Amino acid sequence: MPFPIHRKRRLRVSESMRRLVRESRLDPAQFILPLFVCPGEGVRKPISSMPGNFQLSVDELVKECEGAHALGIGGVILFGIPDLKDDIASGAYADDGIVQVALRALKNAIPNLLLITDVCNCEYTSHGHCGKVIDQDGTVDNDATLEWLAASSVSHARAGADIVAPSDMMDGRVAAIRAGLDQNGLQKTAILAYAAKFASAFYGPFREAAESAPQFGDRRTYQMDPANGREAMHEMDLDFEEGADMLMVKPAMPYLDLIRQAHDRFPVPIAAYQVSGEFSMLMAAVERGWLEYERAMMESLTSIHRAGAGIILTYFARDAARLLG
């Protein structure tokens, strides 16, 4: 008598069968590609710790975004690298700031590409912190920083941002940004809140890419303790109540449990940021022959989506979209 095959095994016998019964399905439209824009022309400066990623001048950024749009990627999020930094983050909200210039160029060249901007101050302050510093341990003046964030959001929206994404972790920033946008006739601009952003070890490569490492102290006085899950839900509750249209968990893979909790708790889209350290960790293993690139990439993205993220910010967006296409 032949060995009986359980029905669960019959549903795994071929790729066609596995595809038919697959529970979680990725689509390029779910991906947001992070990009770094800098002054100059013809600039395509490799980021050593993030293979395949670059600091791009506006002209090169437009080319990169044309390719991303052609792949069906859901959108891009821009991080600015200004010429000059100061104590008041003036480059973040200047109408001729690097992100504002890039937004206008992209809206002109690719009108249907969804444009998101990171709203924070660390790339624009001389000290590398996310707000007005009041102490050498990195403590910031929360309420004074809200004015900067609202001004940046208004400036970005006027330049063409469809979504602004505050990543600073200041209390009350979503309400301040929503008020600033609405008061300036920008009611259609959505807010994607970095609602649960942890003081993570996985941000290291990003700080090279964005040239945003703090010059003293660290950001643990305002970013979240990785040990605190209930506090993360409280932070997300506050951003939701203040009017966030979408909520984000950052990083993604170490916090899959919180992505699931957010998905089950909030009636808005949930995003997750597969951050630079997650990307670079996988790439380092691939370069050493320890992992198979395409399988590791897609498994990591599938796990984030399966946990409950409908939107994934990832440096793998281009290659994953090509595979899915």
Whether 168 maps to a domain, the answer reads yes
* Active-site position among 8, 132, 188, 197: 197
Whether 17 maps to a domain, the answer reads no
Overall domain count for the chain: 1
Mean pLDDT on 12-36: 95
pLDDT for 134 equals 61
Whether 202 maps to a domain, the answer reads yes
Q: How far apart are CA 151 and CA 157, in angstroms?
A: 10
Whether 96 maps to a domain, the answer reads yes
Active site residue 197: yes
pLDDT for 143 equals 87
pLDDT in tens, 184-194: 999 999 999 99
Q: Rounding to the nearest 10 degrees, give the CA dihedral for residues 101, 106, 108, 114.
A: -130
- What is the pairing mode between strands 54-56 and 31-37? parallel
pLDDT in tens, 73-116: 999 999 999 888 888 888 888 999 999 999 999 999 999 999 99
Which whole-number Å values give the CA distances from 46 to 49, 75, 171, in the listed order? Answer: 9, 22, 35
> What's the CATH code of the domain at 190?
3.20.20.70
Beta strands in the chain (DSSP E): 31-37, 44-46, 54-56, 75-80, 115-119, 132-133, 140-141, 163-166, 190-197, 246-250, 270-274, 311-314
Structure token pair of residue 226: 């990785």
Whether 119 maps to a domain, the answer reads yes
Whether 138 maps to a domain, the answer reads yes
What global pTM score does this model have? 0.93
| Residue 95 φ then ψ, to 5° | -65, -25
Whether 12 maps to a domain, the answer reads no
DSSP state of 112: T
* Residue 299, domain extent: 24-324
Whether 313 maps to a domain, the answer reads yes
Mean pLDDT on 142-160: 93
* Active-site position among 45, 63, 188, 250: 250
Contact 178, 243 (CB under 8 A): yes
pLDDT in tens, 231-273: 999 999 999 999 999 999 999 999 999 999 999 999 999 999 9
